[in-house]
Amino acid sequence: MIKRTLFFGNPAYLSTRNEQLVVNFPQEDKKEATIPIEDLGYIVLEDSQITITNGLLMKLVQNKTAVITCDKQHLPCSFLQPLVGHSEQTERIKHQLNASVPLKKNLWQQTVQTKIGNQAAHLRLHRKNSLKLERWATEVKSGDTINHEAIAAAYYFQNLFEEVPGFSRNQKGVPPNNLLNYGYAILRAVTARALVSSGMLPSVGIFHKNKYNAFCLADDVMEPYRPYVDSLVYEMVRAGEDLEELTMDLKAVLLTIPAMDVVIDGKQSPLMVAMSRTTSSLYDCFLGNSRKILYPDFS
């Protein structure tokens, strides 16, 4: 079953009753609303005046619902995760921590190859030149020692948003960077949730190693999924919408990311389900039962 994503952008009081999430709006003339907790995959809390009870938080964590909070710029900034995400968590973390350097280099090679391949497919979809990306995808070595990932990303964004004046991929750059930032933050939460559910630590990566980053592995694994976020943002750009402000309507589109259709292992499935297959295959690699991590094929 596809889990629902809820967004709260106004003051609200969130509590629980009879395994339901109960929503009250103290500053608005709206009736109380209830949603089954078992149906929830992600909750985004944006307004600073939202109140949420500990009882509800406990039930959300037990349901493995990702609770995402936003900062003053309305961007997702934190993710609530359970202390125990899998019944075999201790054993699984041990295999993750004991992964050899050659294995991690090989996994990163696969990750970069797939990411560049998906970027090339996205450019082809819009009849843009993808020949360099297609070639670079075949040239990625173990550990990506030449850093094809960064080279390909620069070329990809330069060509994807070539019609946007002054655009370059930068956290604080001109729109649609604001939409990309928001979409990637949602994707990061989806990835972290899947990793925890697979019994692994999102903070211990196969490539990313920044000691200030608590989501290094999530940042590794989400790379081949980024073009799906890019595709949503590109369609907004093509539609000619005003992107200067990240409006509720724009956020509503980006919050569909977990439910986007992707193709993985030849089968179509929601992105959140595909991500779980990816993280499960990653653990099989750490365990030694496989050498291939399963990623989606952008088409």
Would you list which residues are annotated within the binding site? Answer: 149, 208, 223
Tokens representing 64 are: 């493995």
**Residues 120 and 139: beta-carbon distance below 8 Å:** no
Phi, psi of 93 (to 5 degrees): -65, -35
**Residues 185 and 254: beta-carbon distance below 8 Å:** no
Please report where in the chains the tokens 């490539």 appear, as a residue: 207
**Sequence-distant contacts of 233-240: CB under 8 A, at least 24 apart:** 233/176, 233/179, 233/180, 233/183, 234/122, 234/126, 234/160, 234/161, 236/176, 236/179, 237/161, 237/163, 237/164, 237/176
SS3 of residue 122 by DSSP? helix
Q: Alpha-carbon distance 112 to 134, whole Å? A: 12
Scanning 126-176, the segments in alpha helix (DSSP H) are 131-139, 148-160
Q: Alpha-carbon distance 37 to 48, whole Å? A: 22
- Provide the CB-side half-sphere exposure for 31 (13 A, CA): 2
Annotated binding site for Mn(2+): 149, 208, 223
Please report where in the chains the tokens 């959300």 appear, as a residue: 60
